Amino acid sequence: MTEIKGQVIEAMQESGLRPMESFNYMSNEAGGEDAIGHTVKDHMNYCYKLKIKAIEAGDSQVVCDKLQEAYSEDANFFFRVRLDADGRVCNLFWRDSMMLEDYKIYGDVTVFDTTYRTNRYNLICAPFVGINNHWKNTMFACSFIGDETIESFVWLFETFKKAMGGKCPVSLFTDQDAAMAAAIPKVFPNTRHRLCLWHLIQNAVTRFGILKSDDTFKAAFTKCLSGCINEAQFEVCWDSMMTKYKLKNNSWFKRLYSLKHKWSTTLSKDFFSARILSSQRSESTNHAVGFIANKKTSLTEFYDIFQKTVKTWRRNEDFYELNSTKSIPTSSYPMSALLKHAAEVYTHTLFRDLEEEFKLAIGSQTKLLFINGGKMVYQVYLEGRDGTTQAVTYDPTNQTIQCPCKNFEELGWLCFHSLRILHMHSVEKIPRAVHIFQVD
């Protein structure tokens, strides 16, 4: 085993490749197993020695040494270690300086996920994830906790708060954990606690026997989660589902209904959620930290894989940032003054979302309902599509616009109702008050 080959094997192992995967790769590169210069057994033994080296040195101590080394290289690096009564690591937290900067910009919406137990000690990996201005996931911090008790969550949230200079999330999305729900108001008293839809869907379809294979139940439940237009429709749909599937006396659904303001998109449109309250966005966020790890992964291995994952995210962000700053998106629709302005101030990703709304705006109908003190109230709707009708208020004096659908408040871009009215009045620029997720 030459030194150069050893370095190659070590690099592939740090990247998450299994021993046989790295052996097959090296064999293909060399032109076959006979040409590689060492046997499968040699390869497996070498990989085992690399792995056992860190473990013998003390797995948790190696990670702590890596954190200390990162701190020596980054003055704003922050980490905390908590020991149990026997002096063993039970809680671990860290974030680097770039995570802090990202949190300052994008930390209003934060996802805290505790579904990963991908390590040999069964410690709970609990990353804090956000959404950047290219609609991609960004890492704010990562942690390990030994148990899901109120005490552990309080320690972790207080540590996170301190690491972020005292700034609390405006909205914190989590799974349906009672201890976590109890800890949040103790540390973040003014933070909106919201439940990720992906977790709710998974819990609902796996708990109730025959219902988990019933597509009509899944459709009814999904409509209650995110498909209702207003609160009245939500109540009707919920009651119909409870009756049809005989769930009115089910304790889990009773508790879920009592928390409806934490998860129903219909009842949560007054705050920015970055699409986390849609099952698609929620699922992608909660699978964001899909490391190549398993129950045999050591803390040292996990930390190295985590660092490489974050580097990949940042390279991708640099690519999207370069695209948005060096080029202006085009559209399949005529570039009206409004679209041109959107192309200049929004990132490419957000422009595409706005473009979809613009397409609906072109096909929508309007009717002036009344004028009140200079403010004009229009009815905007799409022919043949139920639930699209909204009464939009437009003030031509200062070019402010408000729509009851609250698409902007919830997602960050104007709805087709508002775009239709702005376009109709030949407004050439998106009002400054609704600039969000800009290039700069």
- What digits encode the pLDDT tens for the residues 313-330? 899 999 988 888 888 888
Residue found under tokens 């729509």: 403
pLDDT at 57: 44
Tell me: do 306 and 188 sit in the same domain: yes
pLDDT at 405: 85
Residue found under tokens 């109120």: 150
Task: Specify which of 202-206, 295-299, 357-361 reaches the highest per-range mean pLDDT.
Answer: 357-361
Q: Residue 427 is encoded by which pair of tokens? A: 């407004």
pLDDT at 439: 40
Residue 185 lies in a domain: yes
What percent of the chain clears pLDDT 90, i.e. is strictly above it? 28
Residue 49 lies in a domain: yes
Q: Which of 40, 56, 72 is the last residue of a domain?
A: 56
Rounded CA gap, 408 and 146, in Å? 40
pLDDT at 330: 86
Q: Residue 190 is encoded by which pair of tokens? A: 């003014």
Tell me: do 368 and 429 sit in the same domain: yes
Burial code (b: 16+ CB inside 10 Å, e: under 16) for 249-265 equals eeeebeebbeebebbbb
Residues 135-142 have a mean pLDDT of: 90
Tell me: do 144 and 290 sit in the same domain: yes
Residue 394 lies in a domain: yes
Structural domain harbouring 221: 197-275
> pLDDT digit string (tens) for 20-54?
888 888 888 888 888 888 888 888 878 767 655 54
Task: Kindly tell me if the per-residue pLDDT of 131 is higher than 80.
Answer: yes
Residues 401-406 have a mean pLDDT of: 87
pLDDT at 238: 95
Q: What is the pTM of this model?
A: 0.76
| Confidence class for position 178, pLDDT limits 50, 70, 90 | confident
Task: Determine the 3-state secondary structure of 200 from DSSP.
Answer: helix
Tell me: do 319 and 191 sit in the same domain: yes
Residue 332 lies in a domain: no
Residues near 231 by beta carbon (within 8 Å), at least 6 away in sequence: 266, 267
In this structure, how many other beta carbons lie within 10 angstroms of the beta carbon of residue 386?
8
pLDDT at 55: 42
Q: Residue 439 is encoded by which pair of tokens? A: 């290039």
Residue found under tokens 């376009």: 423
Q: Chain-wide mean pLDDT for the chain?
A: 83
348 to 36, 54, 107, 394, 435: CA distances (angstroms): 46, 44, 21, 27, 14
Task: Kindly tell me if the per-residue pLDDT of 8 is higher than 70.
Answer: yes
Residues near 160 by beta carbon (within 8 Å), at least 6 away in sequence: 93, 128, 141, 143
**Between residues 159 and 274, which one has the greater pLDDT?**
159
Tell me: do 254 and 133 sit in the same domain: no
Helix H, strand E, coil C: the string for 240-276 is HHHHHCCCCCCHHHHHHHHCHHHCCHHHCCCCCCCCC
